[in-house]
Amino acid sequence: MKKLGIHICFLLCFFSGFGQDEIIQSTRQEVDSILQLVEAEKDPAKRFELILDIYDTRVEGYPLLILETFQKLLLIAQKSKDIIAESNAYSLAGQGYRLSGDHIKGLDYHHKAIVLAEKSRNISVLSWAQNQIGHIYKDRGENEKALNLYTAAKQNASAGKVKILEVWPMMNLAAVFLATNQLDSSLFYGKLAYEKTVALRGFATQSSYIFSNIAGAYSKMGDNPKALEYYNKAINSADENHSVRYRAMAYQAFAEHFQRSRQTDSCILYAKKAIDVVHNSVFSYLAIKPSKLLTDIYENSNADSTIKYLKIYKAANDSLNNTRANQQLQMMTFEEDQRQRDIAAEKINYQNKIRTNLLLAAIGVFLIIGLILYQNNRQKQKANKILEATLDNLKSTQSQLVQSEKMASLGELTAGIAHEIQNPLNFVNNFSEVSAELVKEMVEEMDKGNKDEVKAIANDLVQNLEKINHHGKRADGIVKGMLQHSRSGSGIKEPTNINALADEYLRLAYHGLRAKDKSFNAAMKTDFDDSIGNINILPQDMGRVILNLITNAFYAVNEKKKTLTATTSAVYEPAVTVSTKRKEGKVMISVTDNGNGIPKKVIEKIFQPFFTTKPTGQGTGLGLSMSYDIVTKGHGGELKVETKENEGATFIISLPA
Amino acid sequence: MKILVVDDETDVQVLFEQRFRKEIKSGEMQFVFAFSGEEALTYLNAHEQEAVLILSDINMPGMSGLELLDHIKQKYHKPPPLVMMITAYGDAENFNTAKELGADDFLTKPVDFNQLREKLKTIN
């Protein structure tokens, strides 16, 4: 007992005597020089990191010094209107009151710190404020609340710029997980916190606390050698830092370890050490846990000791956990929770507002896109209308061209027709004149009584009348044909003598060309199959086809003749043959020329509209395409061409008969 | 007098035979007919110097009247027969060509047979 007394006396001298004053003095100097740097620094973010350096001093060992520092920092912050520094100042105050055992005031200041941190929108600062307020709940064993705060602090630290801030929530999470027996998590965070602290700062003021938690985790896991190793490290580190608080906490933790391993004597020894360390110090409330432990141990064996430690426990507990204080704290916590809920509601409101705005913006964008598309569509419709109009124009132009093609071929024919009509008319006139003479003569012979001569003249007269009739019909046919040709067809097929039709148009074409070009000449040959008889066709359309083919044939032979006679003295007899034939239920009408033939490179194109080999202005390029349409679409037949270069070409119309 | 009539219209034969019925009957005129330029040349080759006068249409398929005229005037010298050209087109170009080629006279359709008869009689 005497030995213990000396021991206590020594400890007291060591911690509360001259040694402590010197440490306080040097710590104050350290803190003041940091505050000077803080005041000189204008950038709030850099200031914040300087302020954090305060916690690397031994200031946390002396709550009064913390509160003194709080006052100094608050002045600096308010003077420069720096809400980050102000928040930090309140966090300091909160820590100062917490370590003094005044959780109510501590919580009050921490709340102020959090409000300002939120206002600053600096999540690193918020992380720090959250970490610091978490201690109060950790101290009071409100693990869930503490866990939430430390987790939020860790997340904000990770997201923020000041990475060292991650270390403290980790360290504290290790303590909370240890208290809630989540040992793997505790060990994980404990070791991570230590590694990171060493890596980032090179030293750890709080290493005693970290080691103590690691030791606690190993102890609860039953790994005694590891637990002992870390408890010793925790105690050594606390000694090195001259930290009463960490020393008491380390002893208490060690005592709990011995309780778990049922080493009662060692347990009592360290519990008493924990009480002794804080005796008469500002940390006297730390005697709660060891005194409770000792009360429980002595309860059934030593009444005196039980009472002694029960008293210590009650004193410590009253200072920290009296009923009024508990209620007030709960009220404050409730208010803070309410405030946080309001903030969350406001945040949701704000998010909804943003969402609404985004939605409106999106609708706006869609409207604009819609408008653009609508505009586009309208323009396209306009363009379409223009295109349709152009197409209509083209169609009417095409039909005009087809009409002018008809008229052009008619024009070519006009001269030929004049000749063709002139000839029969001449015959009609001549035969009627000569007949009149014959009648006079016949009367004379009658008077003479020359009966045989009268008979001969009468026979001539009959013949003449037949001739007149024949040539009158011929002229009539030509005129009708011309009218048919210029008229658009009736569209009704009628039985037609294809041989007569071909012959008529052959002659028309020949004389038409002759009328235009006097030097033109060609042999016309016909080879008609008389067995064909009448076939059902559109005569004016088919006549147009035949005329077109014959005109082309004449043109081809004429071209060859021109080039040959111009360059050589070779004998060339241009010839165009029109032949008909009934074959395998079909009627074939062929137009053959002995011209130059059709070159291979154009043979694919000859039936296309507007394709022509004639010089500009001489051909419309519609003749063959029109012919093709008439034969295929109008008559269900075929129009083919056979050609050999330099030898001529044959166009074959084949019609179903 | 033997007259060769060249025309692709076959009915000219009947017409001429009736128009010159009296002249033919009296033996004053003798008509031979060819229905193309080629046929006319064939006849002329076979009956050299027989025809005194040739009446030819200009517009014919194959060999035209002008070509025939050219042939006759170039190849039949002893004595060259008289050639009268007949055409439906009384235009200057055909007339000049025919003259250049040595046509002796130029008739336009419709042929005035009384005039033709007078001309033939003066030649005779």
- What is the C-alpha to C-alpha distance for residues A100 and A575, in angstroms, rounded to an integer? 133
Give A393 to chain B, closest Cα distance, Å: 42
Q: Please give the residue of chain B at the shortest CA–CA distance from A506.
A: B61
DSSP secondary structure string, A565-620?
HHH-------EEEEEEEEETTEEEEEEEE-SS---HHHHTTTTSTT---SPTTT--
Which of A302-316, A460-474, A576-590, B97-111 shows the lowest per-residue confidence on average (mean pLDDT)? Answer: A302-316
Predicted confidence band at B114 (pLDDT cuts at 50, 70, 90)? confident
Kindly report, residue by residue over A45-95, the tens digit of the pLDDT.
889 989 988 988 888 888 889 999 999 999 999 998 899 999 999 999 999
Question: What 3-state DSSP class applies to A632?
Answer: helix
Identify the residue whose tokens are 């004379």. A444
What ipTM was assigned to the predicted interfaces of this complex? Answer: 0.87
CATH 3.30.420.40 fits domain A489-656: no
Q: If you compute the radius of gyration of chain B from its CA atoms, what whole number of angstroms results?
A: 13
Residue A486: name the closest of A541, A533, A557 by CA: A541
B14, B19, B109 ranked by CB distance to A467: nearest: B14
- Mean pLDDT over residues A451-459, rounded? 90
- Mean pLDDT over residues B42-71, rounded? 82
Predicted confidence band at A173 (pLDDT cuts at 50, 70, 90)? very high
User: Hey, what long-range contacts does A638-641 have (CB within 8 A, 24 or more apart)?
Assistant: A639/A545, A639/A607, A641/A598, A641/A603, A641/A606
- Residues from chain B contacting residue A434 (CB–CB below 8 Å): 15, 18-19, 113
Kindly report, residue by residue over A204-216, the tens digit of the pLDDT.
678 888 999 999 9
Residue A11 has pLDDT above 60, yes or no: no
CATH 1.25.40.10 fits domain A16-179: yes
- Mean pLDDT over residues B110-124, rounded? 84
Kindly report, residue by residue over A533-590, the tens digit of the pLDDT.
889 998 888 888 998 899 889 889 988 888 887 676 667 888 999 999 998 889 999 9
Please give the pLDDT value at position A229.
93
- Mean pLDDT over residues A511-531, rounded? 80
A419–B89 CB contact, under 8 Å: yes
Return the DSSP state at A489.
P
- What is the C-alpha to C-alpha distance for residues A142 and A176, in angstroms, rounded to an integer? 9
Q: Please give the residue of chain B at the shortest CA–CA distance from A433.
A: B19
Please give the pLDDT value at position A202.
65
- Residues from chain A contacting residue B111 (CB–CB below 8 Å): 426, 430
Predicted confidence band at A15 (pLDDT cuts at 50, 70, 90)? very low
Percent pLDDT > 90 in chain A is 34
Please give the pLDDT value at position A4.
44
- Residues from chain B contacting residue A466 (CB–CB below 8 Å): none
B63–A524 CB contact, under 8 Å: no
Residue A424 has pLDDT above 70, yes or no: yes
Query: Residues B38, B49: contact at Cβ < 8 Å?
Result: no
A438, A511, A521 ranked by CB distance to B18: nearest: A438
Predicted confidence band at A284 (pLDDT cuts at 50, 70, 90)? confident
**Chain B residues 52-111 with a CB less than 8 Å from chain A:** 59, 61-64, 67, 88-89, 93-94, 97, 109-111
A430 to chain B, any CB pair closer than 8 A? The answer is yes
- Residues from chain B contacting residue A419 (CB–CB below 8 Å): 59, 88-89
Cα–chain-centroid distance for residue A464?
Answer: 95
Which domains are present in chain B? 2-106 (3.40.50.2300)
Please give the pLDDT value at position A9.
42
Domain boundaries, chain A: 16-179, 340-483, 489-656
**Residue A13 corresponds to which amino acid?**
C
Alpha helices in A449-497 (DSSP H): 451-486
Kindly report, residue by residue over A151-164, the tens digit of the pLDDT.
999 999 999 888 88
Which is more confident, A202 or A250? A250
Query: Residues B83, B73: contact at Cβ < 8 Å?
Result: yes
Task: Return mean pLDDT, chain B.
Answer: 84
Q: Please give the residue of chain B at the shortest CA–CA distance from A512.
A: B59
Predicted confidence band at A8 (pLDDT cuts at 50, 70, 90)? very low
